[in-house]
Amino acid sequence: MESSLPMNTEALREYYEQLPNEYGFASQCKMTLLGDIRGKRVLDIDCRRGKGVIKLSDYVGPKGFVVGVDPSPTWIEVALSFREDAWRRNGLPCNNMDFRVAYPEDLAAAGLGDGAFDLVFANSSINVDYCPEAVLCEVFRVLRPGGVLVFDGVVAQGERDESVVAQARALGNAVQAALSRAAFEDMALSAGFDPPEYYEESFVRAETGYLDGFEVPVAPTDEDVRFVKTTARVYKPRR
């Protein structure tokens, strides 16, 4: 399914340039993978400086390939500077990774074609992306039939106050900006995916940052909501 939401490139640029993106929960690099991915073609969206891609490079091995995309040209430049040393340290016979500047809502602009990947990895940064619905539609497009999105992120347990979510997004707080579980599931189904399968869940505080004990700004709220760190596998149907 292609996104029915046309993306304005200038609006995307302005949004991502002002988005706070350091030290928050989305900066963590857990890369929770469920099963063997050797030989797979993998995409990491919002890859930042490429640490997750480097891990995935080791996991997929010499017959696999990993692409990392991020809206920040500066971060992609840093990631590319790590690449040559990284594949050698992973003990590979040649490079098996690439990095490209791309908004997650417009992966086609980076030359990523339909059905190009077996697996797409995404963390809780989706919660603060410009348009999470468009991101999921683009992920669906670039996955092959039967491919899987691994969402290693946060969903909310309880009804969300949209004004609080908007404030949290402006702060770059990927925990407090989380979609409710129901909204995440509806968005995935609308994009064409099967219902998500959840694993390894635990509660996380809204102020949790990139390291244990590090806290980030939160929006004031009296919401009755809890935030759940989850790993979800979301399959693209084979049909």
pLDDT in tens, the chain (239 residues): 444 455 788 999 999 999 987 766 776 666 777 789 999 999 999 999 999 999 999 999 999 999 999 999 999 999 999 999 999 999 999 999 999 999 999 999 999 999 999 999 998 899 999 999 999 999 999 999 999 999 999 999 998 999 999 999 999 999 999 999 999 999 999 999 999 999 989 999 999 987 677 889 999 999 999 999 999 999 999 98
Pairing of strands 65-70, 97-101: parallel
CA angle 179, 145, 42 (to 5 degrees): 70
pLDDT of residue 211: 65
Give dist(CA 96, CA 1) in Å, integer: 28
DSSP state of 175: T
Are 198 and 152 in contact by the 8 Å Cβ rule? The answer is no
pLDDT of residue 29: 61
* Nearest residue to 54 (alpha-carbon basis) of 101, 97, 22: 97
Give dist(CA 219, CA 202) in Å, integer: 22
**What is the tens place of the pLDDT at every residue in 146-156?**
999 999 999 99
Beta carbons within 8 Å of 94's beta carbon, 6+ residues apart: 62, 87
Stated pTM of the model: 0.92
Q: How far is CA 73 from CA 77, 218, 238, in A?
A: 6, 28, 35
- What domains, with CATH codes, occur in the chain? 9-209+217-230 (3.40.50.150)
Beta strands in the chain (DSSP E): 41-45, 65-70, 97-101, 117-123, 143-157, 197-204, 226-235
**What is the tens place of the pLDDT at every residue in 23-53?**
667 766 667 777 899 999 999 999 999 999 9
Enclosing H/E stretch for 124:
none
Give dist(CA 95, CA 61) in Å, integer: 10
pLDDT of residue 163: 97
Are 196 and 185 in contact by the 8 Å Cβ rule? The answer is yes
CA dihedral sign of residues 199, 238, 178, 161: negative
* Nearest residue to 185 (alpha-carbon basis) of 174, 175, 194: 194
